[in-house]
Amino acid sequence: MLSYPEISPYILKLGPLQIRWYGFMYLAGFVSSYMLVLYQVKKRQLDIDKEDVENLYLYLIIGLIAGARLGYIVFYNLSYYISNPLELIAVWHGGMSFHGGLAGALMGGGFYCKRRKIDFWLMADLLIVTAPVGLALGRLGNFINGELYGRPTTVPWGMVFPYAGSMPRHPSQLYEFFLEGFVLFSVLWFAKDRSKTKGALLLVFIMLYGFFRFIVEFFREPDQQLGLILGPLTMGQLLSVSMLIAGAIVLNILRRRQRDQSFKSS
């Protein structure tokens, strides 16, 4: 068994002034993503205005937060929020869903691209290859907070988390850091200059994230209010399977459309 490194969740705490690692990780993720997008735009000499990139991030952040909150409410704890409507906006109490956040970010980004007449699929590919950086940092923040820990285990690297009783558990946040962060970023960054279908990188991200999340959920402690909802499966796994299937269908449609356009132009 490994010792859980008890790291203070606060980078700085001076009276009412509190800077938490978790919030810092989110900020660092967005800044890193922004810089990597600008790097790609410059390297590929794309006709995309820097101001549009900055404004797009505002729409993405708003969509992500709204979608993540709404996704958690609908998929994970709807009855509680119906009984406690004032908690709907209490995001500081926790309760955010990645799947809802992704949907919200796509809608926010799509709205801005349509409004500004920017190629949505091109912009989505530029952005999505950077998303695993934020995911990796977010999972490190979860680990530091001792939250979203794994199921009880006897593996040598099991850890006793501060809010999870005395049993060693899988450090599932680190599994997600590796798969959804490092591995996913490596695959997408390698593929970004080789993809010939606009939108393919976004859809590969959706499918790989769904696959990795489905696997990790077998080691992650299910949400207490839901538990296992379909045999051995969790809500996170059902949503991830839906992502995987939807991504494969849309990718097939885009590739077929591109083949048809190439055939007509030849």
Q: Which long-range contacts (CB under 8 A, 24 or more apart) does 1-9 make?
A: 1/156, 1/157, 1/158, 1/159, 1/160, 1/168, 2/156, 2/157, 2/158, 2/159, 2/171, 3/159, 4/146, 4/159, 4/160, 4/161, 4/162, 6/162, 7/144, 9/144, 9/145
Secondary structure (3-state) at 110: helix
CA dihedral 195, 208, 108, 147 (to 10 degrees): -150
Q: Are 210 and 179 in contact (CB under 8 A)?
A: no
Distance separating alpha carbons of residues 191 and 26, to the nearest angstrom: 25
Distance separating alpha carbons of residues 179 and 73, to the nearest angstrom: 26
Tokens representing residue 225 in the block: 């209010």
The pLDDT of residue 53: 95
Q: Which residues of the chain have pLDDT under 50?
A: none
Name the β-bridge partners of 150: 220
What is the pTM (predicted TM-score) of this model? 0.92
Q: Are 220 and 180 in contact (CB under 8 A)?
A: no
Helices (H), 45-158: 50-76, 78-83, 98-116, 120-128, 131-145
Pick from 133, 122, 176, 181: which is nearest to 35 by CA? 133
How does DSSP classify residue 180? I
Tokens representing residue 22 in the block: 């978790």
The pLDDT of residue 263: 65
String of DSSP letters for 5-28? ----SEEEEETTEEEEHHHHHHHH
Pick from 113, 107, 73, 112: which is nearest to 93 by CA? 73
Which helix or strand (DSSP H or E) is residue 245 part of?
A: helix 235-265
Secondary structure (3-state) at 220: strand
Pick from 180, 181, 142, 179: which is nearest to 164 by CA? 142
